[in-house]
A and B are shown apart, each in its own frame.
Chain A
Amino acid sequence: MADPMRIRAVSKDGVVNVKMLMSHEMETGLRKDSSGKPVPAHFIQSVSVTWQGKVVLSAQWGPAVSKNPFLEFNFKGGKKGDKVEVTWTDNKGEKRTDEATIN
């Protein structure tokens, strides 16, 4: 199982700024290891962020997203104390969900 994400959600003037850092290799499938064998692709394909059961951002990613992906965006309506939930799914079907409380 992958390591937890680091998620920070801060509310200011009715807008919530969400920053997250996921822990993932984001292997492209194009690299070769020291013995010359290709390293199989392993990368996050979809990310979804929800607040009160409503999707506030959804993304599809390819392997060009950097290792240990960073993502930042803003949404309206969230209040301090609300929870923001982030889920990613990778190309091997692994999943991880973490949540953060809005500050």
Chain B
Amino acid sequence: MVQTRRDVLRAGGGASVLALLAAVGLVMPGAALAADWNKRAFEGKTLSDAFKGLGAGVPANSADIIMRAPDIAENGAVVPIGIESKIPGTESIALLIEKNPNPLAAAFDIPAGTETMVSMRVKMGETSSVYALVKANGKYYVAKKEIKVTLGGCGA
């Protein structure tokens, strides 16, 4: 059998597309549906993985980020957390929970005209440090708070 270059390419290309589809399908069906979802950051298993995925590297500590959250959360399935950034030029705010299986919980883009403050409710598996990461003028800043969890939110 004479194999032309074209045949080889076709066969190789077809196989790799199939492999790719299988991999995507197995790992996470629908990953292609939300194309802008930052898979790398959200699936990072450690705080530094998540920071890297967000492009934050090692953020600087800041006292101008205010986190409104309880010191003790009785129900880890519903922990109310508010983050406000007083850093001028804040572009985005992210919330990370260090001891959750995937620390990154949420990331918000804040366009001009929107106040640099968000409130939400998140799940916490256990007592953990919670980080508010803020991007302002291309630089990253972080604030940290420890929240004690009486009842974990993962089996709930």
Chain A interfacial positions (CB closer than 8 Å to B): 15, 26, 28, 30-31, 41, 45-46, 54-67, 69-77, 89-93
**Which B residues touch A41, using CB under 8 A?**
28
**Which A residues touch B79, using CB under 8 A?**
66
> Chain A nearest CB: distance from B83 CB in Å?
10
Complex formed: what's the CA distance from A65 to B107 in Å? 11
**Which B residues touch A62, using CB under 8 A?**
42, 102, 104-106
Q: Is B122 an interface residue (CB 8 A)?
A: yes
Q: Are the C-beta atoms of A56 and B106 separated by less than 8 Å?
A: no
**Which B residues touch A89, using CB under 8 A?**
33-34
Q: Are the C-beta atoms of B119 and A72 separated by less than 8 Å?
A: yes
Q: How many residues on B have C-beta within 8 angstroms of the other chain's C-beta atoms?
A: 41
**In the complex, number of A-B residue pairs with CB atoms less than 8 Å apart:** 121
Q: Are the C-beta atoms of B33 and A92 separated by less than 8 Å?
A: yes
| CB-nearest residue of chain A to B42 | A62
**Which A residues touch B102, using CB under 8 A?**
62-64
> Chain A nearest CB: distance from B77 CB in Å?
6
Question: 0/1 per residue, B117-140, Cβ < 8 Å to A?
Answer: 111111110000000000000000
Q: Are the C-beta atoms of B114 and A66 separated by less than 8 Å?
A: no
> Which 9 A-B pairs rank lowest in CB-CB distance, beginning with the nearest?
A93-B33, A64-B105, A72-B119, A66-B121, A74-B115, A75-B114, A45-B34, A62-B42, A45-B37
Chain B interfacial positions (CB closer than 8 Å to A): 28-31, 33-34, 36-38, 42, 77-80, 82, 97, 100-102, 104-111, 113-115, 117-124, 153-155
**Which A residues touch B36, using CB under 8 A?**
46, 60
10 additional contacts (CB under 8 A) given A59-B109, A92-B30: A26-B123, A28-B123, A45-B37, A56-B114, A57-B109, A58-B108, A65-B121, A66-B123, A69-B120, A76-B115
> Chain A nearest CB: distance from B105 CB in Å?
4
Decide yes or no: A65 and B34 within 8 Å by CB, A15-B115, A31-B154, A56-B114 being known contacts. no
Q: Are the C-beta atoms of A72 and B78 separated by less than 8 Å?
A: no
